[in-house]
A = this chain, B = another copy of it.
Amino acid sequence: MKIIFEKNKLLSAIAPMLGVVSSKNTIAAIEGIKISTKGSFCELAAFDNEKGIKNTVEAKIEEEGSYIINAGKLYQIVRVLPDGEVTITVNDRNITEISSGLSCFELHALPGDDFPVLPELSGETGFTVGQAELHEMINKVMFAVAVNDPKPMLNGVYFKINGSKITAVSCDGQRLALREKICDIDNIVESSELQMEFILPGKSLSELTKLLSDDEEKKVKIILGRKHVIFLIEDLIFFTRMIDSNYIEYERFIPKTNRIFVKAESESIIKCLERAMLVTEEKTMGQMKSHLKCSFSDKKLAFSSVSVSGKFYDEISIEKDGDDIEIGFNCKYFMDAMRCVDTDYIKLSMSTPLMSMLIEPAEKKPDDTFIYLVLPVRM
């Protein structure tokens, strides 16, 4: 194989793949990028058996072939080579030469056949949506995705598309995040109503968000395959397996009959939680964490916390409807949810110190809303 690339084109094609290749794996092939010639183009693929990227780069193909080159090394080498043309040559003994001008690196490649077979990247249903809209939606529920939970669906985000409404839900057993938004959606099957649901792994989504632009003009096409979801982001194809399971019946966890309702300014709460974290997240004595006590009384919400190293107290003004209540939280969980709030005022709903608290916009907009739920801790 002998291919001549323009250095910067090659570099920007490899860069997004670094997050997808598996590192420290026992199978060397999936630490690599598969480079294959396809007519006058060069196809690049990275796949860790869960998520992957496929991409094409314009290049001068002097000799055809298909080889796997370690992704990290390839990127580092191309990055430091002089600007201009970069030539990648692989000989019969898999010895790979990456050169530009007089600079030359030599390393070993693996034959392209060793690469895992990419899943079938096609499907009949799907839609097009703004990259920025999808990006924001994922960012604001990611914090509540479980990591290595034995219930596989909790390690992902549940998406439900119903016409132009997208719902995204995550839940790790201690908290739940739900966003719902009417988006500017184009159904690719125009004759039928858009109705689909799927669960995508958290790890895949955090790679996906790196590829999604914040430009409101740019679109991403999402296609539902048999076992995979395929994202077409400009010339790049990102794909990830779905978590093959039903999602938890999350609506059952959202209390419907709360008796205490509080309206408060989001920013004031965030500031207080930030301060409280200095005491509650104290780690000097091992992994000691103390809880945050929230006392809602009359027109005042008082935060307090005591740990081995000190005490904290702060208060803010609120509007309350219902009884006074004292309720304890894991400060970080409360904070994670508050950081994803995007309204100036929020509504907190509670009923007892043992039942979860709901965080919602103070004034609900039907086309863009959220519900965050945080379980209290026993004090």
Contact with B along A270-283 (1 / 0, CB 8 A): 01101100110000
| B278 pairs with A310, CB closer than 8 A | no
Q: Please, what's the 1-or-0 string for A260-275, where 1 marks a CB less than 8 Å from any CB in chain B?
A: 0000000000011011
Q: Are B80 and A275 in contact (CB under 8 A)?
A: yes
CB A72 to nearest CB in B, in angstroms, measures 10
Residues A309 and B279 in contact, CB atoms below 8 Å apart = no
Cβ contact of A106, chosen from B80, B271, B310, cutoff 8 A: B310
Q: Which residue of B lies closest to A309 (CB)?
A: B107
A73 contacts the other chain (Cβ, under 8 Å)? yes
Contact between B103 and A314 (Cβ–Cβ < 8 Å)? yes
Which residue from B76, B107, B278, B316 sits with its C-beta under 8 Å from A105? B278
* Chain B min CB distance to A356 (Å): 27
Given A103-B272, A272-B103, do A80 and B278 touch, yes or no (CB 8 Å)? yes
Q: Which residue of B lies closest to A312 (CB)?
A: B105
Please indicate which of the listed interface residues A77, A105, A279, A313 has the most CB atoms of chain B within 10 Å of its own CB. Answer: A105
In the assembled complex, which residues on chain B have CB atoms less than 8 Å from the CB atom of A310? 73, 105-108
**What does the 1/0 interface line of A97-109 toward B look like (CB < 8 Å)?**
0000011111110
- Measured CA separation A357–B228 after assembly (Å): 59
A311 lies within 8 A of chain B by Cβ: yes
In the bound complex, how far is the Cα of B275 from the Cα of A362, in angstroms? 57
Query: Measured between alpha carbons, how far is A77 from B305 in the docked complex, in Å?
Result: 14
List the B side residues contacting A211 at CB < 8 Å: none
Q: Is the beta-carbon distance between B311 and A279 smaller than 8 angstroms?
A: no
What's the Cα separation between A106 and B310 when bound, in Å?
5
- Inter-chain CA distance A82–B315, complex, in Å, is 12
Contact A271 B82 (CB under 8 A): yes
Q: Which residues of B contact A279 (CB under 8 A)?
A: 105
Contact with B along A64-91 (1 / 0, CB 8 A): 0000000001001100111000000000
